[in-house]
Amino acid sequence: MDNKRERGFTLIELVIGIAIMALVGAAVFGVLSSSLRAYQYGSSDEHSFNQVRSTLSAIATELRYDAEVNAPAAGATDEKISYTKNGEAHSIELGTALEAGNVVIVTPGDRILYGNGLIQAATFIRDAAEPRRITVTVTAAQITGGVTAAITLTMVVWTGSI
């Protein structure tokens, strides 16, 4: 019979090894979790930015050609702009009720929504000295993982006519 001690790990060595592996695993999980949160925040911020940008682009396209602005008056600010295009009344306003979170372009027989439910505010400032110049500001906000990403963009639009 061989009196040599058998090779292997003791129970204490196994427990210490498992504890070290658990600590390393927890650290890796923490790093991955915070990276995922940062990615989600960045993605929501980018999504909000894209919604505001596309909303401003639609507003600019609508006002730029053959729009005769009726309200707000020169030098005034409003959350709604009314204009005439080809002799028909149009408006752009922030949606309410079921359209909340969107900018609504109202044309004869149609209501076109922009903003994907993220738009919080829209303002139209008509220049006093140059009434064709409209400053449009749109703000969007999105909550992801308890973090709110808010974006505000401003664009100056020259309308088709006074």
Residue 109: give the domain boundaries.
Answer: 11-158
Task: Tell whether 4 is covered by a domain.
Answer: no
> How many distinct structural domains can be found in the chain?
1
**pLDDT value of residue 115:** 85
Phi, psi torsion values for 33, nearest 5 degrees = -65, -45
Rounded Cα–Cα distance for residues 114 and 60 (Å): 13
Indicate the SS3 state at residue 70: strand
Task: Tell whether 2 is covered by a domain.
Answer: no
pLDDT confidence band for 17 (50 / 70 / 90): very high
Task: Tell whether 44 is covered by a domain.
Answer: yes
Contact call for residues 119 and 142 (beta carbons, < 8 A): no
pLDDT at 98 exceeding the cut of 90: no
**pLDDT value of residue 126:** 92
> Which residues are CB-neighbours of 9 under 8 A, at least 6 positions away?
17
Task: Tell whether 106 is covered by a domain.
Answer: yes
Rounded Cα–Cα distance for residues 86 and 94 (Å): 23
pLDDT tens-digit readout, 99-138: 888 899 998 989 889 888 888 889 999 999 998 899 999 9
| Whole-prediction pTM | 0.70
Task: Tell whether 122 is covered by a domain.
Answer: yes
In this structure, the dihedral spanned by the alpha carbons of residues 64, 66, 70 and 71, taken in order and rounded to 10 degrees, is -10
Task: Tell whether 95 is covered by a domain.
Answer: yes
**pLDDT value of residue 91:** 92
**pLDDT value of residue 159:** 87
**pLDDT value of residue 65:** 81
Task: Tell whether 53 is covered by a domain.
Answer: yes
Rg (CA), the chain: 29
Rounded Cα–Cα distance for residues 88 and 75 (Å): 24
pLDDT tens-digit readout, 29-76: 988 888 887 776 666 667 778 888 888 888 888 888 878 888 898 889
Task: Tell whether 104 is covered by a domain.
Answer: yes
**pLDDT value of residue 53:** 87
